[in-house]
Amino acid sequence: MSLKEKLFSKLEAKEQQIETRRHLHANPELSFKEENTAKFIEDFYQDKDVKVTANVGNGFGIIVEINGKAPGKTIGLRADFDALPIHEEADVPFKSKNDGVMHACGHDVHTAYLLHLGEALIELKDEWNGTIKLIHQHAEEVPPGGAKSIVESGILDDLNEVYGIHIFHMLDVGEVGLISGNSMAGRSNFDLTIQGSGGHGAMPQTTRDALVAGAYFVAEVQTIVSRRMDPMDSVVVSVTAFDAPGGYNVIQDKVTLRGTVRYLDENNKVPAYEAMKKIAEGIESSFDVKCDLDYVYDYPVAYNHPEETQYVEDILSESVGYITEIKHPRPSSGSEDFAYYTQRTPGTFIHVGSKPEGVENPYPNHHPKFDVHEDSLLISAKTLGDVVLGRLGN
Note the pLDDT of residue 321. 85
353 backbone dihedrals φ, ψ, rounded to 5°: -70, 140
Beta strands in the chain (DSSP E): 51-56, 61-67, 74-80, 131-137, 161-168, 175-177, 181-184, 186-195, 199-200, 235-243, 250-251, 254-263, 290-297, 302-304, 325-327, 347-353
DSSP string, 120-158: HHHHTGGGS-SEEEEEEE--SSSTT-SHHHHHHTTTTTT
Compute the distance between CA of residue 266 and CA of residue 343 in angstroms, rounded to an integer.
12
Length of the chain: 394
140 is catalytic: yes
Compute the distance between CA of residue 113 and CA of residue 373 in angstroms, rounded to an integer.
13
Cα angle, residue 45 at apex, residues 350 and 3 outer, rounded to 5°:
55
Note the pLDDT of residue 307. 98
Note the pLDDT of residue 210. 97
pLDDT tens for the chain, residues 1 to 394? 899 999 999 999 878 999 999 999 999 999 999 999 999 999 999 999 999 999 999 999 999 999 999 999 999 999 999 999 999 999 999 999 999 999 999 999 999 999 999 999 999 999 999 999 999 999 999 999 999 999 999 999 999 999 999 999 999 999 999 999 999 999 999 999 999 999 999 999 999 999 999 999 999 999 999 999 999 999 999 999 999 988 999 999 999 999 999 999 999 999 999 999 999 999 999 999 999 999 999 999 999 999 999 999 999 999 878 999 999 999 999 999 999 999 999 999 999 999 998 898 999 999 999 999 999 999 999 999 999 999 998 7
Q: Are 364 and 100 in contact (CB under 8 A)?
A: no
Q: Quick one: which of 388, 383, 392 has its CA closest to 177?
A: 383
Note the pLDDT of residue 319. 83
Note the pLDDT of residue 147. 98
Q: Is the pTM of this model over 0.85?
A: yes
Note the pLDDT of residue 114. 98
* DSSP tag of 95: -
Q: Quick one: which of 192, 194, 198, 193 has its CA closest to 253?
A: 198
Among residues 34, 82, 209, 371, which one is catalytic? Answer: 82
Among residues 88, 108, 140, 161, which one is catalytic? Answer: 140
